[in-house]
Amino acid sequence: MRLMMLISLIAGIFLPSAVRVQAEELKEENVEIASDSAILLEGNSGAVLFEKNGDKKMYPASLTKIATSIYAIEKGNVNDLVTISKNATEVEGTKVYLEEGEQVTLKHLLEGMLINSGNDAAIAIAEHIDGNIEQFVKNLNHYLQEKMLITSTHFTNPHGLFDKEHYTTANDLAKITQYALQNSTFKEIFGTKQLEWHGESWNTTLYTHHLMLKGEIPYHGIVGGKTGFVNESKQTLATVADKTSMDLIAIVLKGKDKGVVYNDTINLLNYGFSYYKLDKIRSGQSFFKDGKTFLSTKEEVLVIPKRDSSINVASDGTLQIKNEKNKLIQKIHLKEISAAATPKYGEKPLNEMENTHKDHFESILFTVLIIGLSCLIVCKKNRRWLKRLIS
């Protein structure tokens, strides 16, 4: 209480009104998203920091190529030479202008597909990996279900051209992107801004279509991204940003134009970086709840709101982190080791965990503020004496 009174007094004297308003601007309810669906995921932990219609069935357009890429990388050999079919050259939409019979490495096709969104490259990749498009999409859907536990996605092609049975959700796309980013080859291509392309019929420099990654819409920390558009899906956008060791994945679906999806993405990233911070719990760390002892089974990254958060062990034995709206943002499974136990020396029950850090911080801050105020008072009283001393 004394700390809050002191902070309020100093803030009222020294801080401009714009700064005092900033805390209110960080709240989730102030994040305005105009697109139909969006999600913000922290990549290290899988914590969902914000979502709007995250589980709503949507058409992804070329964000499909994120899934195609990671599946092809994990199943194929990026050094393989791929022979381009007539079928690949005849696909609609954006291309890298492959020629029938041309031979291109699988990695170069992945680059053409992710950087320039080449639909012909996507067809060539699918045919090389599984022989034909039908077998590829069957295997791709199975791969997503088995590897990433994706349950609300069904793809009918490798590129994202519209099909009413080709759908996903913002939530699933965020999980797919999170998984894909663990692969160094995917991460490298996903973050490439420009690349020299030398084909049989097209020599050019490919530039990413993602305006934030390209730098046309400046935003510090952008490390990867993919755009998408078909009439039925409108604008779609996947963006990855890395600042202060926090990896944020923003998926925005069905924005009416490019301005909307980029503005929504910036709002999501600003909210994530401003409002949340990372912490860790070690493997084997003890937590205590209602006379029971729980252990973390591995080191875990925690994403914690910078204010107004709660960290508790729930009745099902999970460690739960909630934001200011009491919304669950992260859940970690713990192992119960005894029916009753007392904390070891130097440890505190989980319900005191957040207060331990808070009290320690407040004690330090209170001391610093007291010293600062004392210095101001002393300097004011002895201003004449100081002037004489300096002169």
Which residue in the list 37, 62, 69, 309 is annotated as catalytic?
62
The torsion angle over the Cα atoms of residues 311, 314, 318 and 321, rounded to 10 degrees, is -20
Q: Please report where in the chains the tokens 């996507």 appear, as a residue.
A: 122
How far is 226 from 186, CA to CA, in rounded Å? 12
296 is catalytic: no
The active-site residue out of 37, 45, 69, 117 is: 117
Has 117 been annotated as catalytic? Answer: yes
62 included as an active-site residue? yes
218's tokens: 């400046």
Q: Which residues pair with 370 in a beta bridge?
A: none
Rounded Cα distance between 106 and 194, Å, is 18
Sequence-distant (6+) residues with CB within 8 A of 225 are 190, 208, 210, 212, 213, 237, 238, 239, 240
> How many other C-beta atoms lie within 10 A of the C-beta of residue 316?
9
Q: What is the residue whose two structure tokens read 């050019």?
A: 204
Residue 173 CA to residue 155 CA, distance in Å, equals 12
Helices H, strands E: what count in the chain? 13, 16
Q: Which of 37, 52, 65, 226 is catalytic?
A: 65
Catalytic site residues? 62, 65, 117
